[in-house]
Structure 1
Amino acid sequence: MSFQGTSTYVATSELQIAVNAAIYLQRPLLVKGEPGTGKTLLAHEIANALGKKLLTWHIKSTTLAQQGLYEYDAVSRLRDSQLGKEGVDDISHYIKKGKLWEAFTADETVVLLIDEIDKADIEFPNDLLLELDRMEFYVYELQQTIKAIHRPIVIITSNNEKELPDAFLRRCLFHYIRFPDKTTMQEIVNVHFPNIREELLNNALQLFYGLREVTGLKKKPSTSELLDWLSLLLFEQLPASVLAESDLKEQLPPHLHTLIKNEQDLNILEEWRRRRR
Protein backbone atom coordinates (compact mmCIF):
# COMPACT_ATOMS: atom_id res chain seq x y z
CA MET A 1 0.00 0.00 0.00
CA SER A 2 1.32 3.41 -0.97
CA PHE A 3 -0.24 6.86 -0.67
CA GLN A 4 0.65 9.49 -3.26
CA GLY A 5 -2.23 11.91 -2.84
CA THR A 6 -5.41 11.83 -4.91
CA SER A 7 -7.04 13.76 -7.71
CA THR A 8 -8.77 15.90 -5.08
CA TYR A 9 -5.99 16.18 -2.47
CA VAL A 10 -2.55 17.63 -3.13
CA ALA A 11 -0.09 15.91 -0.80
CA THR A 12 3.47 17.21 -0.56
CA SER A 13 6.33 14.74 -0.87
CA GLU A 14 7.02 15.12 2.88
CA LEU A 15 3.42 14.24 3.72
CA GLN A 16 3.46 11.24 1.39
CA ILE A 17 6.65 9.99 3.06
CA ALA A 18 5.11 10.38 6.53
CA VAL A 19 1.91 8.54 5.61
CA ASN A 20 3.71 5.68 3.89
CA ALA A 21 6.17 5.36 6.79
CA ALA A 22 3.25 5.05 9.21
CA ILE A 23 1.67 2.38 7.02
CA TYR A 24 4.94 0.43 6.72
CA LEU A 25 5.88 0.68 10.41
CA GLN A 26 2.25 0.17 11.52
CA ARG A 27 2.44 3.17 13.81
CA PRO A 28 -0.18 5.87 14.42
CA LEU A 29 0.51 9.07 12.49
CA LEU A 30 -0.02 12.23 14.53
CA VAL A 31 -0.83 15.13 12.20
CA LYS A 32 -0.68 18.75 13.34
CA GLY A 33 -1.10 22.03 11.51
CA GLU A 34 -3.17 25.17 11.33
CA PRO A 35 -6.95 24.67 11.28
CA GLY A 36 -8.12 24.36 7.70
CA THR A 37 -4.94 22.81 6.29
CA GLY A 38 -6.57 19.44 5.53
CA LYS A 39 -5.62 17.32 8.55
CA THR A 40 -9.00 15.63 8.89
CA LEU A 41 -9.46 15.41 5.13
CA LEU A 42 -6.15 13.54 4.90
CA ALA A 43 -7.62 10.42 6.53
CA HIS A 44 -10.56 10.47 4.11
CA GLU A 45 -8.20 10.74 1.13
CA ILE A 46 -5.94 7.96 2.41
CA ALA A 47 -8.98 5.69 2.68
CA ASN A 48 -10.11 6.65 -0.84
CA ALA A 49 -6.65 6.22 -2.35
CA LEU A 50 -6.10 2.79 -0.78
CA GLY A 51 -9.68 1.59 -1.19
CA LYS A 52 -10.13 1.14 2.55
CA LYS A 53 -13.07 1.75 4.85
CA LEU A 54 -12.81 4.83 7.06
CA LEU A 55 -13.82 4.82 10.73
CA THR A 56 -13.96 8.24 12.40
CA TRP A 57 -13.83 8.93 16.13
CA HIS A 58 -14.56 12.61 16.73
CA ILE A 59 -13.11 13.67 20.08
CA LYS A 60 -14.87 16.19 22.33
CA SER A 61 -13.95 17.69 25.70
CA THR A 62 -16.16 15.10 27.40
CA THR A 63 -14.90 12.07 25.46
CA LEU A 64 -13.36 9.24 27.48
CA ALA A 65 -10.82 6.78 26.14
CA GLN A 66 -13.04 3.91 27.29
CA GLN A 67 -15.70 5.01 24.79
CA GLY A 68 -13.33 4.18 21.96
CA LEU A 69 -13.06 0.61 23.25
CA TYR A 70 -16.58 -0.21 24.45
CA GLU A 71 -19.32 0.88 26.83
CA TYR A 72 -21.33 -1.36 29.12
CA ASP A 73 -24.93 -0.23 29.53
CA ALA A 74 -25.66 -1.50 33.03
CA VAL A 75 -28.70 0.76 33.39
CA SER A 76 -30.49 -0.78 30.41
CA ARG A 77 -29.69 -4.25 31.65
CA LEU A 78 -31.11 -3.48 35.08
CA ARG A 79 -34.26 -1.99 33.56
CA ASP A 80 -34.76 -4.97 31.25
CA SER A 81 -34.30 -7.39 34.14
CA GLN A 82 -36.97 -5.54 36.14
CA LEU A 83 -39.31 -5.75 33.16
CA GLY A 84 -38.62 -9.45 32.73
CA LYS A 85 -37.26 -9.16 29.21
CA GLU A 86 -35.49 -12.11 27.59
CA GLY A 87 -31.76 -12.10 26.96
CA VAL A 88 -30.82 -10.23 30.12
CA ASP A 89 -28.46 -13.02 31.10
CA ASP A 90 -26.41 -12.42 27.93
CA ILE A 91 -24.29 -9.43 28.91
CA SER A 92 -23.00 -9.03 25.36
CA HIS A 93 -26.39 -7.53 24.44
CA TYR A 94 -25.46 -4.53 26.59
CA ILE A 95 -21.96 -3.98 25.27
CA LYS A 96 -21.65 -1.13 22.78
CA LYS A 97 -18.59 -1.45 20.57
CA GLY A 98 -16.35 1.58 20.20
CA LYS A 99 -14.42 2.68 17.11
CA LEU A 100 -11.25 0.83 18.15
CA TRP A 101 -13.22 -2.38 18.63
CA GLU A 102 -14.75 -1.93 15.17
CA ALA A 103 -11.33 -1.27 13.64
CA PHE A 104 -9.69 -4.22 15.40
CA THR A 105 -12.34 -6.73 14.33
CA ALA A 106 -12.84 -5.53 10.75
CA ASP A 107 -12.42 -8.14 8.02
CA GLU A 108 -9.66 -6.09 6.39
CA THR A 109 -7.36 -3.20 7.20
CA VAL A 110 -9.29 0.04 7.79
CA VAL A 111 -8.28 3.66 8.24
CA LEU A 112 -9.08 4.85 11.77
CA LEU A 113 -9.25 8.62 12.27
CA ILE A 114 -8.99 9.90 15.85
CA ASP A 115 -9.92 13.50 15.18
CA GLU A 116 -8.77 16.43 17.37
CA ILE A 117 -7.34 14.36 20.20
CA ASP A 118 -6.17 17.53 21.99
CA LYS A 119 -9.78 18.48 22.79
CA ALA A 120 -10.04 15.71 25.40
CA ASP A 121 -8.70 15.61 28.93
CA ILE A 122 -4.92 15.49 29.29
CA GLU A 123 -5.10 11.88 30.49
CA PHE A 124 -7.01 10.75 27.39
CA PRO A 125 -3.91 9.96 25.25
CA ASN A 126 -2.25 8.09 28.14
CA ASP A 127 -5.37 5.94 28.56
CA LEU A 128 -4.90 4.66 25.00
CA LEU A 129 -1.17 3.90 25.18
CA LEU A 130 -1.37 0.12 25.43
CA GLU A 131 -4.33 -0.23 23.09
CA LEU A 132 -2.63 1.68 20.28
CA ASP A 133 0.74 0.04 20.96
CA ARG A 134 -0.35 -3.59 21.31
CA MET A 135 -3.53 -3.23 19.26
CA GLU A 136 -5.56 -5.12 21.85
CA PHE A 137 -7.65 -4.55 24.96
CA TYR A 138 -9.51 -6.62 27.55
CA VAL A 139 -13.29 -6.63 28.04
CA TYR A 140 -13.81 -7.41 31.72
CA GLU A 141 -17.56 -7.98 31.43
CA LEU A 142 -17.02 -10.66 28.78
CA GLN A 143 -13.65 -11.88 30.10
CA GLN A 144 -12.39 -11.61 26.55
CA THR A 145 -9.42 -10.00 24.85
CA ILE A 146 -10.16 -8.10 21.64
CA LYS A 147 -7.09 -8.19 19.44
CA ALA A 148 -6.67 -6.57 16.03
CA ILE A 149 -7.14 -9.04 13.20
CA HIS A 150 -5.57 -6.47 10.87
CA ARG A 151 -3.73 -3.48 12.32
CA PRO A 152 -5.62 -0.37 11.24
CA ILE A 153 -3.96 2.64 9.66
CA VAL A 154 -4.36 5.15 12.48
CA ILE A 155 -4.40 8.88 11.74
CA ILE A 156 -4.57 11.21 14.77
CA THR A 157 -5.13 14.95 14.35
CA SER A 158 -4.36 17.75 16.79
CA ASN A 159 -4.81 21.52 16.68
CA ASN A 160 -2.24 22.03 19.44
CA GLU A 161 -4.82 23.20 21.97
CA LYS A 162 -2.79 21.37 24.61
CA GLU A 163 0.46 19.46 24.80
CA LEU A 164 0.32 15.70 24.41
CA PRO A 165 2.19 13.40 26.84
CA ASP A 166 5.70 12.28 25.88
CA ALA A 167 4.81 8.61 26.38
CA PHE A 168 2.05 8.99 23.80
CA LEU A 169 4.25 10.88 21.35
CA ARG A 170 6.89 8.12 21.51
CA ARG A 171 4.38 5.67 20.08
CA CYS A 172 3.46 7.88 17.11
CA LEU A 173 5.07 9.14 13.96
CA PHE A 174 4.65 12.87 13.55
CA HIS A 175 4.01 15.24 10.67
CA TYR A 176 3.28 18.96 10.71
CA ILE A 177 1.33 20.15 7.68
CA ARG A 178 2.98 23.45 6.90
CA PHE A 179 0.82 26.14 5.39
CA PRO A 180 1.12 25.82 1.59
CA ASP A 181 3.34 28.25 -0.28
CA LYS A 182 1.89 30.05 -3.29
CA THR A 183 2.98 27.37 -5.77
CA THR A 184 1.44 24.54 -3.77
CA MET A 185 -1.67 26.60 -3.07
CA GLN A 186 -2.08 27.21 -6.78
CA GLU A 187 -2.03 23.44 -7.34
CA ILE A 188 -4.67 22.98 -4.61
CA VAL A 189 -6.90 25.65 -6.13
CA ASN A 190 -6.56 24.18 -9.62
CA VAL A 191 -7.77 20.83 -8.27
CA HIS A 192 -10.99 22.46 -7.02
CA PHE A 193 -11.38 25.07 -9.76
CA PRO A 194 -9.65 23.69 -12.87
CA ASN A 195 -11.05 26.42 -15.14
CA ILE A 196 -10.21 29.43 -12.97
CA ARG A 197 -8.63 32.32 -14.86
CA GLU A 198 -4.92 32.63 -14.14
CA GLU A 199 -5.09 36.42 -13.66
CA LEU A 200 -7.93 36.11 -11.15
CA LEU A 201 -6.09 33.40 -9.22
CA ASN A 202 -2.82 35.32 -9.10
CA ASN A 203 -4.54 38.48 -7.88
CA ALA A 204 -6.57 36.53 -5.31
CA LEU A 205 -3.50 34.75 -3.95
CA GLN A 206 -1.61 38.03 -3.66
CA LEU A 207 -4.41 39.53 -1.55
CA PHE A 208 -4.86 36.31 0.46
CA TYR A 209 -1.19 36.00 1.45
CA GLY A 210 -1.04 39.72 2.12
CA LEU A 211 -3.91 39.31 4.56
CA ARG A 212 -2.13 36.41 6.31
CA GLU A 213 0.91 38.64 6.84
CA VAL A 214 -1.07 41.16 8.90
CA THR A 215 0.54 41.04 12.34
CA GLY A 216 -1.59 39.97 15.29
CA LEU A 217 -4.43 38.10 13.60
CA LYS A 218 -5.81 35.48 15.96
CA LYS A 219 -7.29 33.38 13.15
CA LYS A 220 -5.40 33.73 9.89
CA PRO A 221 -7.44 32.74 6.83
CA SER A 222 -6.81 29.11 5.91
CA THR A 223 -6.93 26.99 2.77
CA SER A 224 -10.57 26.07 3.25
CA GLU A 225 -11.49 29.75 3.63
CA LEU A 226 -9.55 30.64 0.50
CA LEU A 227 -11.54 28.04 -1.45
CA ASP A 228 -14.82 29.44 -0.10
CA TRP A 229 -13.73 32.95 -1.06
CA LEU A 230 -12.77 31.91 -4.59
CA SER A 231 -16.07 30.07 -4.95
CA LEU A 232 -17.94 33.31 -4.23
CA LEU A 233 -15.76 35.33 -6.60
CA LEU A 234 -16.38 32.84 -9.38
CA PHE A 235 -20.11 32.70 -8.63
CA GLU A 236 -20.40 36.46 -9.00
CA GLN A 237 -18.11 36.39 -12.05
CA LEU A 238 -16.04 39.23 -10.69
CA PRO A 239 -13.35 40.39 -13.12
CA ALA A 240 -9.75 39.94 -12.11
CA SER A 241 -9.32 43.72 -12.28
CA VAL A 242 -11.49 44.10 -9.16
CA LEU A 243 -8.85 42.27 -7.15
CA ALA A 244 -5.99 43.93 -8.97
CA GLU A 245 -7.36 47.31 -7.92
CA SER A 246 -7.82 46.21 -4.32
CA ASP A 247 -5.15 47.26 -1.88
CA LEU A 248 -5.38 46.16 1.76
CA LYS A 249 -4.07 49.59 2.75
CA GLU A 250 -6.82 51.40 0.87
CA GLN A 251 -9.70 49.00 0.28
CA LEU A 252 -10.71 45.67 1.75
CA PRO A 253 -11.31 42.80 -0.69
CA PRO A 254 -14.88 41.73 -1.56
CA HIS A 255 -16.50 39.07 0.66
CA LEU A 256 -14.05 39.65 3.49
CA HIS A 257 -16.45 37.77 5.79
CA THR A 258 -15.29 34.48 4.28
CA LEU A 259 -11.67 35.22 5.25
CA ILE A 260 -11.93 37.07 8.58
CA LYS A 261 -13.98 35.18 11.17
CA ASN A 262 -14.07 37.30 14.32
CA GLU A 263 -14.47 40.92 15.43
CA GLN A 264 -11.06 41.03 17.08
CA ASP A 265 -9.25 40.25 13.83
CA LEU A 266 -11.40 42.74 11.94
CA ASN A 267 -10.37 45.46 14.39
CA ILE A 268 -6.72 44.44 14.06
CA LEU A 269 -6.99 44.66 10.28
CA GLU A 270 -8.61 48.09 10.46
CA GLU A 271 -5.88 49.34 12.82
CA TRP A 272 -3.20 47.86 10.55
CA ARG A 273 -4.65 49.72 7.57
CA ARG A 274 -4.96 52.97 9.54
CA ARG A 275 -1.27 52.91 10.50
CA ARG A 276 -0.21 52.44 6.87
CA ARG A 277 -2.30 55.15 5.28
Structure 2
Amino acid sequence: MKFEGTDSYVATDDLTIAVNAAVTLERPLLVKGEPGTGKTELARQVAAGLGLRMIEWNIKSTTKAQQGLYEYDAVSRLRDSQLGDERVNDVKNYIRKGKLWQAFEADEKVVLLIDEIDKADIEFPNDLLQELDKMEFHVYETGETIRARQRPIVIITSNNEKELPDAFLRRCFFHYIRFPDPDTLRQIVEVHHPGLKEALLTTALTQFYELREQPGLKKKPSTSEVLDWLKLLLAEDMTADDLKRDGVNALPKLHGALLKNEQDVHLFERLAFMARRERR
Protein backbone atom coordinates (compact mmCIF):
# COMPACT_ATOMS: atom_id res chain seq x y z
CA MET A 1 0.00 0.00 0.00
CA LYS A 2 1.82 3.07 -1.29
CA PHE A 3 0.56 6.59 -1.96
CA GLU A 4 1.93 8.22 -5.12
CA GLY A 5 -0.47 11.13 -5.53
CA THR A 6 -3.51 11.34 -7.79
CA ASP A 7 -4.44 12.99 -11.06
CA SER A 8 -6.27 15.75 -9.20
CA TYR A 9 -3.70 16.42 -6.46
CA VAL A 10 -0.08 17.43 -6.97
CA ALA A 11 1.88 15.77 -4.17
CA THR A 12 5.55 16.71 -3.80
CA ASP A 13 8.15 14.00 -3.17
CA ASP A 14 8.60 14.93 0.48
CA LEU A 15 4.83 14.78 1.04
CA THR A 16 4.43 11.31 -0.48
CA ILE A 17 7.41 10.12 1.57
CA ALA A 18 5.74 11.44 4.74
CA VAL A 19 2.42 9.74 3.95
CA ASN A 20 4.05 6.41 3.20
CA ALA A 21 6.29 6.63 6.27
CA ALA A 22 3.25 7.18 8.51
CA VAL A 23 1.47 4.22 6.88
CA THR A 24 4.53 1.99 7.36
CA LEU A 25 5.04 3.04 10.99
CA GLU A 26 1.28 2.80 11.66
CA ARG A 27 1.38 6.19 13.34
CA PRO A 28 -0.90 9.21 12.83
CA LEU A 29 0.37 11.67 10.23
CA LEU A 30 0.29 15.19 11.67
CA VAL A 31 0.13 17.73 8.85
CA LYS A 32 0.71 21.44 9.42
CA GLY A 33 0.90 24.34 6.99
CA GLU A 34 -0.67 27.63 6.04
CA PRO A 35 -4.47 27.58 5.68
CA GLY A 36 -5.35 26.76 2.07
CA THR A 37 -2.29 24.64 1.29
CA GLY A 38 -4.30 21.43 0.87
CA LYS A 39 -3.98 19.72 4.26
CA THR A 40 -7.59 18.53 4.42
CA GLU A 41 -7.61 17.66 0.73
CA LEU A 42 -4.54 15.48 1.31
CA ALA A 43 -6.59 13.03 3.40
CA ARG A 44 -9.25 12.81 0.70
CA GLN A 45 -6.63 12.18 -1.97
CA VAL A 46 -4.82 9.56 0.13
CA ALA A 47 -8.14 7.73 0.48
CA ALA A 48 -8.80 8.04 -3.27
CA GLY A 49 -5.23 7.06 -4.20
CA LEU A 50 -5.27 3.95 -2.01
CA GLY A 51 -8.88 3.06 -2.81
CA LEU A 52 -10.05 3.41 0.80
CA ARG A 53 -13.14 4.87 2.44
CA MET A 54 -12.62 8.08 4.40
CA ILE A 55 -14.17 9.00 7.74
CA GLU A 56 -13.95 12.71 8.52
CA TRP A 57 -14.03 14.24 11.99
CA ASN A 58 -14.18 18.04 11.83
CA ILE A 59 -13.00 19.57 15.10
CA LYS A 60 -14.58 22.71 16.56
CA SER A 61 -13.73 24.78 19.62
CA THR A 62 -16.48 22.96 21.56
CA THR A 63 -15.50 19.43 20.47
CA LYS A 64 -14.55 16.98 23.22
CA ALA A 65 -12.40 13.90 22.71
CA GLN A 66 -15.15 11.68 24.14
CA GLN A 67 -17.38 12.62 21.18
CA GLY A 68 -14.94 10.86 18.88
CA LEU A 69 -15.41 7.64 20.83
CA TYR A 70 -19.12 7.66 21.70
CA GLU A 71 -21.83 9.65 23.47
CA TYR A 72 -24.32 8.24 25.95
CA ASP A 73 -27.75 9.90 25.80
CA ALA A 74 -28.90 9.52 29.40
CA VAL A 75 -31.62 12.17 28.98
CA SER A 76 -33.39 10.24 26.22
CA ARG A 77 -33.17 7.04 28.22
CA LEU A 78 -34.75 8.73 31.24
CA ARG A 79 -37.53 10.16 29.10
CA ASP A 80 -38.23 6.79 27.50
CA SER A 81 -38.31 5.10 30.89
CA GLN A 82 -40.97 7.55 32.03
CA LEU A 83 -42.98 6.74 28.89
CA GLY A 84 -42.62 2.99 29.41
CA ASP A 85 -40.61 2.45 26.24
CA GLU A 86 -39.05 -1.04 26.08
CA ARG A 87 -35.93 0.38 24.45
CA VAL A 88 -34.67 1.40 27.90
CA ASN A 89 -33.85 -2.23 28.69
CA ASP A 90 -30.90 -2.11 26.30
CA VAL A 91 -28.41 0.68 27.01
CA LYS A 92 -26.93 0.27 23.54
CA ASN A 93 -29.99 2.03 22.14
CA TYR A 94 -28.73 5.23 23.72
CA ILE A 95 -25.10 5.11 22.66
CA ARG A 96 -24.12 7.15 19.62
CA LYS A 97 -20.95 5.94 17.93
CA GLY A 98 -18.24 8.53 17.28
CA LYS A 99 -15.89 8.77 14.33
CA LEU A 100 -13.15 6.71 16.01
CA TRP A 101 -15.63 3.95 16.82
CA GLN A 102 -16.79 3.95 13.18
CA ALA A 103 -13.19 3.68 11.99
CA PHE A 104 -12.34 0.93 14.49
CA GLU A 105 -15.34 -1.26 13.66
CA ALA A 106 -14.86 -1.03 9.88
CA ASP A 107 -14.11 -4.42 8.32
CA GLU A 108 -11.71 -2.80 5.86
CA LYS A 109 -8.87 -0.34 6.38
CA VAL A 110 -10.09 3.27 6.23
CA VAL A 111 -8.59 6.74 6.29
CA LEU A 112 -9.57 8.68 9.42
CA LEU A 113 -9.21 12.45 9.11
CA ILE A 114 -9.10 14.48 12.34
CA ASP A 115 -9.35 17.95 10.85
CA GLU A 116 -7.99 21.10 12.55
CA ILE A 117 -7.17 19.52 15.90
CA ASP A 118 -5.73 22.81 17.17
CA LYS A 119 -9.23 24.34 17.29
CA ALA A 120 -10.16 22.25 20.32
CA ASP A 121 -9.19 22.65 23.95
CA ILE A 122 -5.49 22.13 24.80
CA GLU A 123 -6.34 18.86 26.61
CA PHE A 124 -8.09 17.41 23.55
CA PRO A 125 -4.96 15.75 22.04
CA ASN A 126 -3.92 14.29 25.40
CA ASP A 127 -7.36 12.77 25.86
CA LEU A 128 -6.86 10.74 22.67
CA LEU A 129 -3.32 9.49 23.39
CA GLN A 130 -4.17 5.96 24.46
CA GLU A 131 -6.96 5.46 21.94
CA LEU A 132 -4.77 6.43 18.97
CA ASP A 133 -1.78 4.52 20.35
CA LYS A 134 -3.44 1.24 21.30
CA MET A 135 -6.32 1.56 18.83
CA GLU A 136 -8.89 0.58 21.43
CA PHE A 137 -11.14 2.11 24.08
CA HIS A 138 -13.56 0.98 26.79
CA VAL A 139 -17.32 1.63 26.80
CA TYR A 140 -18.21 1.93 30.48
CA GLU A 141 -21.99 1.78 29.99
CA THR A 142 -21.86 -1.65 28.32
CA GLY A 143 -18.58 -2.97 29.69
CA GLU A 144 -17.23 -3.77 26.22
CA THR A 145 -13.86 -2.89 24.72
CA ILE A 146 -13.83 -1.63 21.14
CA ARG A 147 -10.68 -2.61 19.25
CA ALA A 148 -9.75 -1.68 15.70
CA ARG A 149 -10.39 -4.57 13.33
CA GLN A 150 -8.12 -2.93 10.76
CA ARG A 151 -5.74 -0.20 11.94
CA PRO A 152 -6.92 2.96 10.14
CA ILE A 153 -4.62 5.44 8.43
CA VAL A 154 -4.97 8.49 10.68
CA ILE A 155 -4.30 11.94 9.22
CA ILE A 156 -4.45 14.90 11.60
CA THR A 157 -4.34 18.50 10.38
CA SER A 158 -3.39 21.63 12.31
CA ASN A 159 -3.25 25.32 11.38
CA ASN A 160 -0.77 25.88 14.23
CA GLU A 161 -3.20 28.08 16.17
CA LYS A 162 -1.92 26.57 19.42
CA GLU A 163 0.93 24.28 20.47
CA LEU A 164 0.22 20.58 20.71
CA PRO A 165 1.45 18.55 23.74
CA ASP A 166 4.83 16.83 23.47
CA ALA A 167 3.36 13.48 24.46
CA PHE A 168 0.97 13.72 21.53
CA LEU A 169 3.67 14.84 19.09
CA ARG A 170 5.86 11.85 20.02
CA ARG A 171 3.17 9.51 18.75
CA CYS A 172 2.85 11.19 15.34
CA PHE A 173 4.85 11.38 12.14
CA PHE A 174 5.10 15.07 11.34
CA HIS A 175 5.07 16.91 8.02
CA TYR A 176 4.88 20.61 7.26
CA ILE A 177 3.40 21.48 3.85
CA ARG A 178 5.49 24.37 2.59
CA PHE A 179 3.96 26.89 0.26
CA PRO A 180 4.59 25.64 -3.30
CA ASP A 181 7.38 27.13 -5.38
CA PRO A 182 6.44 28.64 -8.77
CA ASP A 183 7.06 25.41 -10.70
CA THR A 184 4.92 23.34 -8.33
CA LEU A 185 2.20 25.99 -8.31
CA ARG A 186 2.14 25.87 -12.12
CA GLN A 187 1.50 22.12 -11.91
CA ILE A 188 -1.31 22.70 -9.42
CA VAL A 189 -2.86 25.34 -11.67
CA GLU A 190 -2.65 22.99 -14.65
CA VAL A 191 -4.66 20.38 -12.72
CA HIS A 192 -7.43 22.86 -11.88
CA HIS A 193 -7.30 25.12 -14.95
CA PRO A 194 -5.77 23.11 -17.78
CA GLY A 195 -4.66 24.91 -20.91
CA LEU A 196 -4.34 28.35 -19.32
CA LYS A 197 -2.60 30.76 -21.72
CA GLU A 198 1.08 31.09 -20.86
CA ALA A 199 1.15 34.88 -20.93
CA LEU A 200 -1.82 35.17 -18.57
CA LEU A 201 -0.44 32.51 -16.22
CA THR A 202 3.02 34.07 -16.07
CA THR A 203 1.67 37.57 -15.41
CA ALA A 204 -0.84 36.35 -12.81
CA LEU A 205 1.67 34.23 -10.89
CA THR A 206 4.26 37.03 -10.97
CA GLN A 207 1.75 39.43 -9.41
CA PHE A 208 0.64 36.78 -6.95
CA TYR A 209 4.13 36.09 -5.62
CA GLU A 210 4.91 39.81 -5.50
CA LEU A 211 1.78 40.28 -3.39
CA ARG A 212 2.70 37.40 -1.06
CA GLU A 213 6.20 38.80 -0.52
CA GLN A 214 5.01 42.31 0.31
CA PRO A 215 6.39 43.27 3.76
CA GLY A 216 3.71 44.01 6.34
CA LEU A 217 1.07 41.75 4.84
CA LYS A 218 -1.15 40.39 7.62
CA LYS A 219 -2.50 37.36 5.73
CA LYS A 220 -0.65 36.00 2.75
CA PRO A 221 -2.94 34.59 0.04
CA SER A 222 -2.87 30.81 -0.19
CA THR A 223 -2.96 28.18 -2.92
CA SER A 224 -6.75 27.92 -2.81
CA GLU A 225 -7.06 31.69 -3.13
CA VAL A 226 -4.85 31.96 -6.20
CA LEU A 227 -6.92 29.20 -7.81
CA ASP A 228 -10.09 31.18 -7.07
CA TRP A 229 -8.46 34.32 -8.48
CA LEU A 230 -7.49 32.57 -11.71
CA LYS A 231 -11.02 31.20 -12.02
CA LEU A 232 -12.35 34.76 -11.82
CA LEU A 233 -9.83 35.99 -14.38
CA LEU A 234 -10.98 33.29 -16.77
CA ALA A 235 -14.64 34.03 -16.09
CA GLU A 236 -14.01 37.72 -16.92
CA ASP A 237 -12.05 36.66 -20.02
CA MET A 238 -9.07 38.75 -18.96
CA THR A 239 -5.74 38.71 -20.74
CA ALA A 240 -2.19 39.37 -19.61
CA ASP A 241 -2.54 42.95 -20.87
CA ASP A 242 -5.61 43.46 -18.66
CA LEU A 243 -3.54 42.57 -15.60
CA LYS A 244 -0.76 45.03 -16.31
CA ARG A 245 -0.39 47.75 -13.71
CA ASP A 246 0.87 51.25 -14.46
CA GLY A 247 2.74 51.60 -11.16
CA VAL A 248 0.05 53.87 -9.75
CA ASN A 249 -2.46 51.17 -8.79
CA ALA A 250 -0.69 48.65 -6.54
CA LEU A 251 -3.73 46.42 -6.17
CA PRO A 252 -4.16 43.55 -8.65
CA LYS A 253 -7.42 43.15 -10.57
CA LEU A 254 -10.18 41.38 -8.60
CA HIS A 255 -7.99 41.57 -5.50
CA GLY A 256 -10.90 40.54 -3.25
CA ALA A 257 -10.09 36.93 -4.07
CA LEU A 258 -6.56 37.37 -2.70
CA LEU A 259 -6.71 39.94 0.10
CA LYS A 260 -9.10 39.01 2.90
CA ASN A 261 -8.87 41.88 5.39
CA GLU A 262 -9.01 45.67 5.27
CA GLN A 263 -5.52 46.05 6.78
CA ASP A 264 -3.89 44.43 3.75
CA VAL A 265 -6.07 46.38 1.30
CA HIS A 266 -5.10 49.64 3.06
CA LEU A 267 -1.44 48.62 2.84
CA PHE A 268 -1.59 48.45 -0.94
CA GLU A 269 -3.66 51.60 -1.12
CA ARG A 270 -0.91 53.41 0.80
CA LEU A 271 1.69 52.00 -1.58
CA ALA A 272 -0.35 53.29 -4.52
CA PHE A 273 -0.66 56.71 -2.89
CA MET A 274 3.09 56.90 -2.34
CA ALA A 275 3.71 55.85 -5.94
CA ARG A 276 1.44 58.64 -7.21
CA ARG A 277 3.25 61.22 -5.08
CA GLU A 278 6.64 60.13 -6.45
CA ARG A 279 5.40 60.49 -10.02
CA ARG A 280 4.36 64.12 -9.54
The verdict on how the C-alpha distance between 1:273 and 1:152 changes in structure 2, with shifts beyond 3 A counting, is: same
Equivalent residue runs for 1:18-37 within 5 Å: 18-37=18-37
Secondary structure of the structure 1 residue equivalent to 2:89? coil
**Aligned equivalents of 1:201, 1:71: Cα separation in 2:** 51
TM-score, normalising length from structure 2?
A: 0.96
Task: Give the secondary structure class of the aligned counterpart of 1:88.
Answer: helix
Residue 272 of structure 1: how far off its partner (Å): 3.6
Q: CA distance change for structure 1 residues 249 and 168 in 2, over 3 Å: closer, same or farther? A: farther
Change (3 A) 1:275 1:167: farther
Give secondary structure in 1 for the equivalent of 2:68. helix
The whole-number CA distance in structure 2 between the counterparts of 1:249 and 1:31 is 41
Superposition pairs for residues 148-167 of structure 1, below 5 Å?
A: 148-167=148-167
How far did residue 203 of structure 1 move? 0.4
Please report how far the alpha carbon of residue 172 of structure 1 lies from its aligned counterpart in structure 2 after TM superposition. Answer: 0.2
Residue-by-residue CA offset, 1:242-261 (whole Å, 9 max, x unaligned) = 22x22566342211100001
Q: Does 1:113 align with 2:109?
A: no
Aligned partner of 1:80: which letter?
A: D
Q: Flag structure 1 segments of 5+ consecutive residues without an equivalent.
A: none
Contact map agreement 2:251 2:268 (CA 8 A) in 1? no
How far the C-alpha of 1:273 sits from its partner, in A, is 3.8
User: Retained in 1: the 8 A contact 2:91–2:141?
Assistant: yes
User: Does the 8 Å contact 1:248/1:273 carry over to 2?
Assistant: yes
Aligned length in residues: 276
1:99 counterpart residue number? 99
Query: 1:55-134 residue pairs with structure 2 within 5 A?
Result: 55-134=55-134
In structure 2, the partner of 1:254 is: 253
Which piece of structure 1 moves more, 216-225 or 204-213? Answer: 216-225
Query: For 2:268 and 2:253, how far apart are their aligned partners in 1?
Result: 15
1:159–1:192 distance in 2 versus 1, CA, 3 Å: same
Tell me the distance in 2 between the aligned counterparts of 1:3 and 1:219: 32
Residues 18 and 248 (structure 1), Cα distance of their counterparts in 2 relative to 1, 3 Å cut: farther
- Preserved CA contact (<8 Å) 2:112 2:152: yes
Runs of 4+ in 1 over 4 A off after TM superposition: none
Contact 1:57 / 1:114 at 8 angstroms: preserved in 2?
A: yes
The residue matched to 1:163 in structure 2 has which SS?
coil
The residue number in structure 2 matching 1:196 is 196
Q: State the shift of 1:184 in Å.
A: 0.3
Identity %: 67
> Hey, what's the Cα distance between the residues in 2 that align with 1:196 and 1:87?
61
Instruction: Tell me by how many angstroms 1:264 deviates.
Output: 1.4
Give the CA deviation at 1:270: 2.1
What are the superposed Cα offsets for residues 112-169 of structure 1, whole Å, 9 maximum, x if unpaired?
0000000000000000000000000000001010000000000000000000000000
Whether the 8 Å contact between 2:70 and 2:97 is mirrored in structure 1 is yes
Displacement of 1:228 in angstroms is: 0.5
Which residue matches 1:263? Answer: 262
Q: Secondary structure at the match of 1:260?
A: coil
Corresponding residue for 1:11?
A: 11
Contact 1:207 1:248 in 2 (8 A): no
* Cα distance in 1, alignment partners of residues 101 and 218 from structure 2: 39
What SS class does the counterpart of residue 24 from structure 2 fall into? helix
In the alignment, the residues of structure 2 paired with residue 247 and residue 223 of structure 1 have an alpha-carbon distance, to the nearest angstrom, of 26
| TM-score, normalising length: structure 1 | 0.97
Q: Which amino acid aligns with 1:192?
A: H
Q: Distance in 1 between matches of 2:228 and 2:182?
A: 17
> Does the 8 Å CA contact 1:189/1:227 hold for their aligned counterparts?
yes
- State the one-letter code of the partner of 2:120: A
Partner Cα distance (1:207, 1:187) in 2: 18
Do the aligned partners of 1:214 and 1:272 also contact (CA within 8 Å) in 2?
no
How many Å separate the matches in 2 of 1:50 and 1:106? 16
Q: Is the 8 A contact 1:214 1:269 kept in 2?
A: no
